[in-house]
Structures are given as C-alpha cells and as structure tokens.
Amino acid sequence: MYVKSTADIVQPIQKLLQAARAAQVMVIYLRHIVRGDGSDTGRMRDLYPNVDQILARHDPDVEVIEALAPQSDDVIVDKLFYSGFHNTDLDTVLRARDVDTIIVCGTVTNVCCETTIRDGVHQEYKVIALSDANAAMDYPDVGFGAVSAADVQRISLTTIAYEFGEVTTTAEVIRRIESAYPHGR
C-alpha cells in the first residue's frame, strides 16, 4: 500500500538500523503478506477487496524497500493482519531474547504500527513509537470528512503517548542505544 510520507521516514530508520546493528540490538522486520488466493484474508477482504493482490506473498511490492533491506542477522516475521503479534511467533522471538522493550517504526502509524503497539502492551512489553520514523496516510471522506496524514499522525502519536507507551525521536533512541551499548552487546 502506497503511503506518500514513507519517503520521509527512510533516513531516520536507516540511522536507527545502523545504531541497533552496531550495538548488536536485535532488529525485527514485520511483513504484511497473504497467500494471494483469498484463503487467509478473512474479514480484511471485506474491507479491502483487492487485498489478495496488494499483499500477495510473491509480489515484489510486499518486500522491504532496498534502502532498508534486512541483513542476514535480522529477523523477519510475516503477519496476516495488522498486528505483529496476532498469530505470529513475534512474542516467542522476543521472549527468547529476554526483550522487554520494543521500538516501533514504519507504516501505517495508526493501523499496523499502533495495533502492534497496543498488542505489545497487552503482552507486557514497554513500547516506544518513533515520531519521525512512522508514517500515516491521508484518508478520503467516508462520511466524516477527509483526514490528512498529518492529522492522523498527530492523533495516533498522541493516543500512543497517552495510553500505551512512549513517543520520542529516532535521535533520542539512538542516543540511548549508544549509551547503553557503547561496545555492542
């Protein structure tokens, strides 16, 4: 799914990935993919009739963009729905490494990112959302008026900060990583 503000978050995420890898902090990618034959999309197909095409497993558009490509030590978790925790092994992977805090960045802020954050809190993780490394999208008028990506982003980050966890910048998280792990783990 195209989100025009995605270009704005690439550089902050690149810097975060560099700092995390240098400190040997686990990097996990979540990919939202489906089989492509309609057998695993459930209710999502009611909302997005073309979901089988736009998130099909073998479609190159579901892959992580080259500028943020996973490295061999990174973990890739495939998910069928919005949350990275729903019917995936994400929780198992995190607990096996004694992770207690998750840092969330990507798209779409108020959908996949926020749903993963909410579920992370429900699984007893501390969560951090990055204000400059999450991207929202514009919403057309569906009976309540159109909503700009900027308004969606502001409301989602406010909700996260008030109800679920911390919202901060990529630079602040990098500073914390470098301070906690000056020579790696």
Q: What percent of the chain has pLDDT over 70?
A: 92
- 111 inside domain: yes
pLDDT of residue 46: 80
Distance of CA 4 to the CA centre of its chain: 16
Domain CATH for 144 = 3.40.50.850
pTM of the model: 0.90
- Beta strands 166-168 and 75-79 are unpaired
Alpha-carbon distance 78 to 51, whole Å?
Answer: 15
pLDDT at 160 over 90: yes
Average pLDDT estimate for 164-179: 98
**Worst-scoring range by mean pLDDT, 11-20, 23-32, 46-55, 125-134?**
46-55
Number of domains, the chain? 1
Long-range (24+ apart) CB contacts under 8 A made by 60-65 are 62/31, 62/32, 62/33, 63/31, 64/29, 64/31, 65/10
pLDDT the model gives residue 80: 87
Q: What is the mean pLDDT of residues 37-52?
A: 74
Please report whether residue 154 resides in a domain: yes
To the nearest whole number, what is the mean pLDDT of the chain?
91
Whether 73 is covered by a domain: the verdict is no
Task: Answer yes or no: is 53 within a domain.
Answer: no
**Is 67 a domain residue?**
no
Task: Give the model confidence (pLDDT) of 58-79 as tens digits.
Answer: 776 667 889 999 999 999 999 9
* Full domain range(s) for residue 119: 6-27+83-180
Domain annotation covers residue 46: no
Confidence at residue 38, expressed as pLDDT on a 0 to 100 scale: 74
Does residue 17 lie within any of the structural domains? yes
pLDDT of residue 51: 66
- Whether residue 48 lies inside any domain: the answer is no
Residue 180: both structure tokens together:
């906690």
